[in-house]
Chains A and B, each alone.
Chain A
Amino acid sequence: MNNRYELNKNLAQMLKGGVIMDVTTPEQARIAQKAGACAVMALERIPADIRTAGGVSRMSDPKMIKSIQEAVTIPVMAKVRIGHFTEAQILEAIEIDYVDESEVLSPADDTFHIDKTQFQVPFVCGAKDLGEALRRISEGASMIRTKGEPGTGDVVQAVRHMRMINQQMRKLQNLREDELFQAAKDLQVSYDLVKYVHQNGKLPVVNFAAGGIATPADAALMMQLGAEGVFVGSGIFKSGDPERRAQAIVKAVTNFNDAKLLAELSEDLGEAMVGINEQEIEVLMALRGE
């Protein structure tokens, strides 16, 4: 693809090993930056509150996003509804650093995702499995994250999705060359992308973990499972001591293999967000947009 796509993939590379935090106000954005976030996701309501509020959830007010852009020097991301390319045009107009075409918001299109190749700004999209990840990449996503189950504080689905993507990549690596054509059909993706994964054993873009990460241990778990960084949504500002928890999660991502340090980081964090088990929730956001 074009040079802009390379530059957009490159920005995601700079975020690796970092934590991207959901924030709803300039004040929270400043706290996140101070705590060591490598980027912030500006949104009006964090996923846990979207669940509580119900109804249709949309792109945030551009004025609120701009106030967050002014408050921090790190990249600012914001969410649009799946398929809502006009919301994406609006975010591009205010020079957002990354658009998240997100299942956290109510989908605007139940068939088509945004044709992200038509944009200059980069897109990150969620995926539960390799087919979804590669479909989003062929639509122009320059970064992938697991869907997990946002706003729950329950890491089980992020784990499931990360394991699934990695297992499917290992399977592709082990196929014979002449078996890749059928694999492309099964995954409903292009042969070229299947061949890339077969040869390289990884996605052609950066892959983060997201959805339900609430503790330093959760974040380190996702990193040990192969995530290149993490998104933390409701987990920080729904907890007892956001600043302290944010700092601990940042350090846990950097030293995800050092159990002794993780033990220290996990001490005295105050109350974690109250979790909801996947069996208890009514809306499964991960099922939006396949």
Chain B
Amino acid sequence: MRRKIGILAIQGAFAEHASMLSALNVEVIEIRQKSHLENIELDGIILPGGESTVMGKLLRELDMFYPLKKLIEDGLPVLGTCAGLILLAKEVINDNECHLATMDISIKRNAYGRQLGSFQVNHEFKYLGEIPMTFIRAPYINSISNEGEILAIVDNNIVAARQNNMLVTSFHPELTTDLSVHKYFLDMI
């Protein structure tokens, strides 16, 4: 059976993730409301790029926050890119507010400054080799617990990591044509 992956579609670049998944022959479910989380058996979920303040707020107000947190705590494979990484972090060092807080990472928001600090590089990703990485007003991971595995380091900052069912990148694999991060995520299922 084709795998079903949900994409949180309340704000941001969710369509880009959907086209990556379609290219990998995966069924995509857009998650906009609580009922979408409850009524469909998902094999995994993607938290896309966008604005984490907006997504964090809408998750709470649309009553999706606790159902989603529980699914992830119960082991649902999740890929968080950029804002998605922020949503999963237990600590945000330059912000008081945390969101789902399921992953033992401490992160810095807007770590490269404003839009003029956005950049693209080709860089090594553990197991995947060199891949294109696009950073847009990106965060990075400041520290990670022993349970986590570091997957990519750019300029001495951790930009990709995994902890059990959770995979996060501070860059946007969905903005390139390289499918390897999405394939890696599907292999986690």
Instruction: State the A residues within 8 Å of B (CB).
Output: 3, 6-8, 10-11, 13-18, 33-34, 36-39, 69, 73-75, 92, 95-98, 120-122, 247, 250-251, 253-255, 258, 261
Within 8 A of A (CB), among B29-62: 32-33, 49-51, 53-54, 57-58, 61-62
A10:B136 contact, CB within 8 angstroms: yes
Q: Looking at A3, A18, A254, which has the most chain B CB atoms within 10 Å of its CB?
A: A254
B13:A16 contact, CB within 8 angstroms: yes
B120:A6 contact, CB within 8 angstroms: yes
5 contacts between A and B (CB under 8 A): A14-B13, A17-B14, A250-B57, A251-B61, A254-B62
Contacts of A98 in B (CB 8 A): 115
Contacts of A10 in B (CB 8 A): 118, 134, 136, 172, 175
Give A117 Cβ to nearest chain B Cβ, in Å.
16
Contacts of B119 in A (CB 8 A): 7
Contacts of A34 in B (CB 8 A): 57
Interface size on B, residues (CB 8 A): 36
A73:B136 contact, CB within 8 angstroms: no
B116:A18 contact, CB within 8 angstroms: no
**Also in contact, A16 and B113, with CB within 8 A (given A36-B57, A37-B54):** no
B134:A18 contact, CB within 8 angstroms: no
A121:B10 contact, CB within 8 angstroms: no
Contacts of B62 in A (CB 8 A): 251, 254-255
Interface 1/0 per residue, B124-139 and A, CB below 8 Å: 0000000000101100
A-B pairs, top 7 by smallest CB distance, nearest first, are A17-B11, A97-B115, A38-B51, A7-B118, A95-B114, A13-B13, A254-B10
Residue of A nearest to B9 (CB): A17
- How far apart sit A187 and B137, CA to CA, in the bound complex (Å)? 35
Contacts of A258 in B (CB 8 A): 32-33
Give A29 Cβ to nearest chain B Cβ, in Å.
12
Instruction: State the B residues within 8 Å of A (CB).
Output: 9-16, 32-33, 49-51, 53-54, 57-58, 61-62, 82-83, 95, 109-110, 113-116, 118-120, 134, 136-137, 172, 175
A255:B137 contact, CB within 8 angstroms: no
Q: Looking at B32, B82, B118, which has the most chain A CB atoms within 10 Å of its CB?
A: B118
Give A124 Cβ to nearest chain B Cβ, in Å.
12
A7:B120 contact, CB within 8 angstroms: yes
- How far apart sit A253 and B109, CA to CA, in the bound complex (Å)? 25
- How far apart sit A18 and B14, CA to CA, in the bound complex (Å)? 12
**Count of CB-CB pairs between chains A and B under 8 Å:** 111
**Also in contact, A73 and B32, with CB within 8 A (given A8-B115, A11-B136):** no
- How far apart sit A254 and B12, CA to CA, in the bound complex (Å)? 10
Give B55 Cβ to nearest chain A Cβ, in Å.
9
**Also in contact, A75 and B115, with CB within 8 A (given A3-B120, A13-B175, A254-B10):** yes
Given contacts A38-B51, A95-B116, 16 further A-B contacts (CB under 8 A): A10-B172, A11-B137, A13-B175, A14-B50, A14-B137, A17-B9, A38-B11, A38-B50, A75-B115, A92-B116, A98-B115, A250-B54, A250-B58, A254-B32, A254-B62, A261-B33
A18:B114 contact, CB within 8 angstroms: no
Residue of B nearest to A94 (CB): B114
- How far apart sit A37 and B32, CA to CA, in the bound complex (Å)? 17
**Also in contact, A254 and B116, with CB within 8 A (given A7-B134, A13-B16, A14-B50):** no
- How far apart sit A15 and B172, CA to CA, in the bound complex (Å)? 14
B12:A16 contact, CB within 8 angstroms: yes
Give A123 Cβ to nearest chain B Cβ, in Å.
11
- How far apart sit A247 and B61, CA to CA, in the bound complex (Å)? 10
B136:A254 contact, CB within 8 angstroms: no
